[in-house]
Amino acid sequence: MLKKSRHRKRRGIEFNLNIHIYVPTVPMVMFIFGLVGFYIANDNLLIMLISWLLLISALIYLNTFWIGSKEVLANQIKAAQVKPNALVAFINKDSKPSISKSINRLKQRAMITIIDTDFEKLSQPNGSFDLVIVNQTFSNIRPRIKKILAIQEAARIVNHNGRIIIIERGLNSEQYRSFLKHAGFSGVKVQNVGPIGWWSGPWRPTHVISGNKW
């Protein structure tokens, strides 16, 4: 009887730690090349410097992927001052848990439509939404003609007096400004969010492009 009691007690403190951490390919490749560089450097200062740069860039990328991108999105949602029961479209190619948390908070105030496919030909009618948020989507669309179509579609579904917010990585933010102006948006602003949006370094920043449709 004593043995059974001990056995039950031992089983009672057992637990499983089931953690899934997604690591994107780009920083993993940089990390591997950095380690290989250290291995073959043989006191070669140039190779050592490049290896350090790769490792630091990988860490910066991961910080943006896991933390920075979440903070940028949350800040933009807060700054948008979404009105109660507003119609909001959230265009996003990838669904990370951190993004889901921000969207769930927004759902408490607004009516959300999540769009994660067919960006070049959206099914929603013209002027369907008060606010359209595009998060890290256009930079992943190839070729260029499809990217242009996706931008035009996102602009099309914004209603008059509505607003669009585009969060994108890369250095082509002025192209988005030009597209939005031609689509009838005014007061178009481009903001570099700084180090929290660096995808490996300042050479690949995150920009927020926003404007109002009149």
pLDDT along the chain (214 residues), means of 10: 47 51 90 96 95 98 95 95 96 72 89 94 97 94 92 96 95 86 93 97 96 94
pLDDT at 20: 59
pLDDT at 16: 53
Report domain extents, the chain: 72-213
- For residue 63, give both structure tokens: 């910080």
**Is it true that domain 72-213 has CATH number 3.40.50.150?**
yes
* Cis bond before residue 202 (omega within 30° of 0): no
Is the pTM value of this prediction over 0.95?
no
pLDDT at 70: 92
| CA 211 – CA 190 distance, rounded (Å) | 9
Is the distance from CB of 150 to CB of 137 less than 8 angstroms? yes
